[in-house]
Structure 1
């Protein structure tokens, strides 16, 4: 039964990815012909594709809270690569991702065509990345970042990097905190986290072989960026998400020196 379930889920996922690849190729070709940026269309199609991709994964998703009606900088805790299709299905979004994802077969190309912005850790290009994020938000496009900078097992939060939130201040948009958690029988799911030395294929096979788990996505109260420092935004976002996830992660608000 487990093998049959895995085979059917792999077939479903393969069909979704194949169709997404075809769709991305068509949009890319159209952009070359008309020589015009089709980013708004790409974002809408990406949302449609990610909803189908999330539907091919063994999750039962529950969403709480209100979707923002204005462009915002979304910030979320990061548990797995599956966060992206699940959150991206909620609203047209672009993502900030580590540069390594760009090299992933198929998925990296699809992410690039969907408008993902890539950052290379330790490359010293934080100023350039910040400018990219600001331009993206100033164009009225939603952007989602994972300010922890890596995935966790969902049992704690890492420090949120304030420099990534500076774009909200520079572009005058609010921050939309989002809390996501994976549960199995009311407890944190041990299968969903994609952490450490895990590789994509092994994780995918474990995930598709398992029974469905619950996913809770909570859209929290937006945080105004006006008159706040980037460290304040980071700490307040982290505190809100930690509270929503019922984590005991201590979150200290920035000192006056840090906020300056």
Structure 2
């Protein structure tokens, strides 16, 4: 499946971005490997800095709305659109990803996932207990984790249903308190500051049977990408009553955030903040 007929990007821009990204990544991979080997604290912080630089290399501007929770640990539940989500979220959070087991075997990207201390899960029912234990161990250690509850990626225009089974870890208490889950919306909204419609968004969304290499080359040859990331109010399973209710709640919140970002609307708290900012500016000017 191809996102659209024809290619109107710049191969020179794509090559430049790839070289910058690969150069940055190859320079830092051995550094991160050593930091992990000696269990250095910097091993948690270096990926955050790396993803911020990688976003610049790839021509991605992240517009953040809301704030990530400051207390640890937190499970972030986010919709999934593209492989770019990793860099986008990694530039906003000092957290590790929960990824499907197959990612660990991918060349290059699998190495990067391991260097970011990703938790790889096998979705077979027989392995679910072992994986919950590993995820809980990481949470007990104070690590924040990022979960994609759709279980796959979408075309970026809507959010697929959240699988309640992927929220099973939220049924367990961490440090004798309920695990806090923070929903996060991610939306690919503008290209060179021009709103993207359904025609352009699949150039960045990676889903279905799209071939990775060709898709990546096309997307990197286009202009500057703006991605909106919105952090919503945290919640616990105890407040909602069940794993299914938690999944449905997070899905509804994330879906509303994506729709709002795609349509260019601001969340209510952002509207209030900007209105207050304008009033202060007017008072100062007067």
Q: How many Å apart are 1:26 and its aligned residue?
A: 2.4
1:6 and 2:14 aligned: yes
Q: How many Å apart are 1:7 and its aligned residue?
A: 2.3
| 1:64-103 correspondence runs (5 A) | 64-71=65-72, 72-103=74-105
Deviations 1:89-131 (A, max 9, x none): 1121011111221112222112112210112333631121112
- 8 Å CA contact retained: 2:44, 2:94: yes
Q: TM-score, normalised by structure 2?
A: 0.78
Corresponding residue SS for 2:207: coil
- 8 Å CA contact retained: 2:78, 2:148: yes
CA distance in 1, matches of 2:28, 2:167: 31
Q: How many Å apart are 1:70 and its aligned residue?
A: 0.9
Change (3 A) 1:202 1:127: same
Corresponding residue SS for 1:156: coil
CA distance in 2, matches of 1:126, 1:174: 20
Match of 1:180 in 2: 186
CA distance in 1, matches of 2:213, 2:125: 28
Q: How many Å apart are 1:42 and its aligned residue?
A: 1.9
Q: How many Å apart are 1:181 and its aligned residue?
A: 0.6
Corresponding residue SS for 1:54: helix
State the Cα RMSD in Å: 1.9
Deviations 1:22-46 (A, max 9, x none): 2223224x42xxxxx44x4322111
- 8 Å CA contact retained: 1:42, 1:115: no
- 8 Å CA contact retained: 2:132, 2:169: yes
Match of 2:252 in 1: 239
Q: How many Å apart are 1:176 and its aligned residue?
A: 0.6
Match of 1:21 in 2: 29
CA distance in 1, matches of 2:152, 2:71: 27
Corresponding residue SS for 1:73: strand
- 8 Å CA contact retained: 2:154, 2:207: yes
Corresponding residue SS for 2:237: coil
Corresponding residue SS for 2:238: coil
Deviations 1:183-241 (A, max 9, x none): 23323522110111223322211111111222110011111332431111111100101
Deviations 1:148-202 (A, max 9, x none): 0000001222221222223233122211100001023323522110111223322
- 8 Å CA contact retained: 1:98, 1:120: yes
| 1:1-260 correspondence runs (5 A) | 2-28=10-36, 30-31=37-38, 37-38=39-40, 40-71=41-72, 72-122=74-124, 124-170=126-172, 171=174, 172-184=178-190, 185-186=194-195, 187-188=197-198, 189-227=201-239, 228-246=241-259
CA distance in 2, matches of 1:25, 1:141: 18
Q: TM-score, normalised by structure 1?
A: 0.85
Match of 1:253 in 2: none
